Structure 1
Amino acid sequence: MTAERMHTTAHHVDVAAPAGVVYGLIADTPSWPRYFPPNVHVEQLEFDGVSERLRMWATANGRIRSWTSSRQLSPRDRRIVFRQDTPAAPVRSMLGTWSVDAVDAHTSRLTLLHDFTVEGDDPGDTAWVEQALDTNSRIQLSSLRKIAESWQRLDELVLTFEDSVRVRGGAELVYDFLYRVADWPERVPHVARLDLTEDQPGVQVVSMDTTTADGSTHTTKSVRVCFPHAGRIVYKQTVTPALMTAHTGEWSVVPDETGVSVVSQHSVMLRAEAVEAVLGPGASVSDARRYVREALGRNSLTTLELARRHAESAVRML
């Protein structure tokens, strides 16, 4: 039996930003779901400043895929070498390199290389992997270029915050409320409609209509990755409202000796060019930050409060 053939792809993009900025973005893997549309979630399993292991979830040709990867970071060379430790079928092996070259003080060239083999060297599977790599690499590089070229405004455009409540009830009851998202149209007032697909246990694809404070309705689509033993549900909106280019979040249930803390975390990348169209002439990014914080926080606190009532009511009935 012959060994599978190694296939190679290469993608490049020129970026009007310093090389150090570009390298910093590709080195910051926990933020990738906020920067790169295909990336749903990244768990940093190990990191010593040079080597890291990651568990990653991403979309590939419309499917949700998951794998673990190892990376070696070389900040001086602005180079990152990666290898998938447990590739998702039909990939048998996947490795590659991110490299950033300075064209001048204000311009860089980013190169992304992939080398991969496919189980049995099947032509159809090879074509599927090549298409997924080409699609995702182009989207990643385009998104990274846009973000890097706005690097001086990133602190203004990124909004991260959390809300929490205390619950006098079991952590498993709270988690059950958050996990059973299909029941939210009957349980959560601002959820008008929800469709749920869970082809893989713990990986939920959700389409939801949400009613805002002014009575309007917007549709979002999300992927949720559930960690029941850790009491966590992380998610990424794959279709966002107009004011955001990205929205990720996490529900976490944290028990202690006196009860349970339930926390809702949000991380948002604002779409600066949409601010006036959504909020009106003269509106600023500061106005958008305030608007998004209030809107997301209001919905989160409503859901957290309902989870609290659900858990505490069940305890009183025992």
Structure 2
Amino acid sequence: MSAERVHRTTHEVTVAAPAGVVYGLIADAAKWPLYFPPNVHVEQLESDGSREHLRMWATANGQIKSWTSRRTLDVAQRRIEFRQQVPASPLESMGGTWIVEPRGAAACRLVLLHDFTVAGDDAGSVAWVESATDTNSRAELGNIKKLAKGWERLDDLVMSFEDSVRVDGPADRVYDFLHRVQDWPTLVPHVSRLDVTEPEPGVQVMSMDTLTADGNAHTTESVRVCFPHARRIVYKQTATPLLMSAHTGEWSLVEDETGVTVTSQHSVVLREETITRVLGPEAGVAESRRYVREALGRNSTATLNLAKAYAESKVTTRAA
């Protein structure tokens, strides 16, 4: 811990769900991008079941920040302690504890503690961190409260699926197509507009207009984290269509001696309260699942096929 002054914050919420359910939600860090609005992506670097090493990307006061953390999970006490190993500026240190306290069989109190220091205890930096911590903590606790309250239906509202295509071409050409999103409006027919910035290498912040099969336009905003050496691109939509409260995804490439398998994976939390508004008064969760699966799968498969054509055309051109 730094010799600078230690600042502490406390956030808490009462949740109408069993303590074990709430602990399970906060323990599963890989799903935080689905459950926590500020969280963009989590990479689990190491884990032995009770201790884990994570790298995280999240929004903080409108900026994208990344850091590595170590967590210690105590299932019996329903506590998770965390400490950032490489904090993001302006932090010098950051840590804290998640605590789940039972309040009977069907409710609990969720407490989130933070402690942090900044270089020189600069007042502006302290205020920036306090604002980001307060905003993110409230968003995280509020969404956990909402998800956990309907925990018996959560399995119906959370869905994951993937689509793949086989490419007879080099993996670097496929990755190039998927990475160069600034060119998609001229290459991908269902993308009518796309604006992108790169606040740091490997991180893309984008706003995109897409067209559905019925001709309607949807505007989404996303943050993408690119791993060129692993040939992966992960993303989270930070502004989603009405039927989804959360949407994350990944483009991944696996190369072998005969070509490349390119996969588009989606994970979604459905927004139940908007289903009838979007799909009509008779629609329910099953119809919403089917609609989202078809809509996302159709667009991502179209993009996969365009990446395939792009990569294979380069092979044909060189061969000619």
Work out whether the TM-score is over 0.5: yes
The equivalent residue for 1:44 is 44
Residue 280 (structure 2) pairs with residue 280 (structure 1): yes
Q: Please report how far the alpha carbon of residue 185 of structure 1 lies from its aligned counterpart in structure 2 after TM superposition.
A: 0.2
Give, in whole Å, the separation in 2 of the partners of 1:123 and 1:194.
Answer: 38
The equivalent residue for 2:146 is 146
SS in 2 for 1:85: strand
* Mapping 1:108-123, distance limit 5 Å: 108-123=108-123
SS in 2 for 1:37: coil
Q: Please report how far the alpha carbon of residue 119 of structure 1 lies from its aligned counterpart in structure 2 after TM superposition.
A: 1.0
SS in 2 for 1:229: coil
Which whole-Å deviations, capped at 9, do the CAs of 1:95-119 have from their partners, x for residues lacking one?
1000000011001000000010001
Q: Please report how far the alpha carbon of residue 282 of structure 1 lies from its aligned counterpart in structure 2 after TM superposition.
A: 1.1
Which whole-Å deviations, capped at 9, do the CAs of 1:128-180 have from their partners, x for residues lacking one?
00000000000000000001111101110011000000001000000000000
The equivalent residue for 2:159 is 159
Q: Please report how far the alpha carbon of residue 199 of structure 1 lies from its aligned counterpart in structure 2 after TM superposition.
A: 1.7
* Fraction of identical pairs, as percent: 68
Residue 200 (structure 2) pairs with residue 220 (structure 1): no
Residue 63 (structure 2) pairs with residue 63 (structure 1): yes
Which whole-Å deviations, capped at 9, do the CAs of 1:254-306 have from their partners, x for residues lacking one?
10111100000000000011000000011010000000000000001100000
SS in 2 for 1:275: helix
The equivalent residue for 1:250 is 250
The equivalent residue for 2:97 is 97
The equivalent residue for 1:5 is 5
Q: Please report how far the alpha carbon of residue 253 of structure 1 lies from its aligned counterpart in structure 2 after TM superposition.
A: 1.0
Give the total of aligned pairs. 317
The equivalent residue for 1:186 is 186
Give, in whole Å, the separation in 2 of the partners of 1:247 and 1:199.
Answer: 22
Give, in whole Å, the separation in 1 of the partners of 2:289 and 2:211.
Answer: 19
Give, in whole Å, the separation in 2 of the partners of 1:220 and 1:89.
Answer: 28
Superposition CA RMSD, Å: 0.7
The equivalent residue for 1:83 is 83
Which whole-Å deviations, capped at 9, do the CAs of 1:224-246 have from their partners, x for residues lacking one?
00000000000000000000000
Give, in whole Å, the separation in 2 of the partners of 1:47 and 1:147.
Answer: 26
Which whole-Å deviations, capped at 9, do the CAs of 1:186-207 have from their partners, x for residues lacking one?
0000000000011201100010
Give, in whole Å, the separation in 1 of the partners of 2:203 and 2:3.
Answer: 33
Which whole-Å deviations, capped at 9, do the CAs of 1:44-84 have from their partners, x for residues lacking one?
00010000000000000000000000000000000000000
For residue 312 of structure 2, what is the amino acid of its counterpart? E
For residue 85 of structure 1, what is the amino acid of its counterpart? Q
> Which consecutive unaligned segments of at least 5 residues does structure 1 have?
none
Give, in whole Å, the separation in 2 of the partners of 1:285 and 1:199.
Answer: 38
The runs of at least 4 consecutive aligned structure 1 residues that moved more than 3 Å come to none
Give, in whole Å, the separation in 2 of the partners of 1:129 and 1:199.
Answer: 19
The equivalent residue for 2:130 is 130
For residue 79 of structure 1, what is the amino acid of its counterpart? R
SS in 2 for 1:104: coil
> Which consecutive unaligned segments of at least 5 residues does structure 2 have?
none
For residue 310 of structure 1, what is the amino acid of its counterpart? Y
Q: Please report how far the alpha carbon of residue 3 of structure 1 lies from its aligned counterpart in structure 2 after TM superposition.
A: 2.8
For residue 305 of structure 1, what is the amino acid of its counterpart? N
For residue 297 of structure 2, what is the amino acid of its counterpart? G
* Mapping 1:197-212, distance limit 5 Å: 197-212=197-212
Give, in whole Å, the separation in 1 of the partners of 2:112 and 2:83.
Answer: 13
Give, in whole Å, the separation in 2 of the partners of 1:127 and 1:199.
Answer: 22
For residue 53 of structure 2, what is the amino acid of its counterpart? R
Give, in whole Å, the separation in 1 of the partners of 2:83 and 2:23.
Answer: 18
TM-score calculated relative to the size of structure 2:
0.98
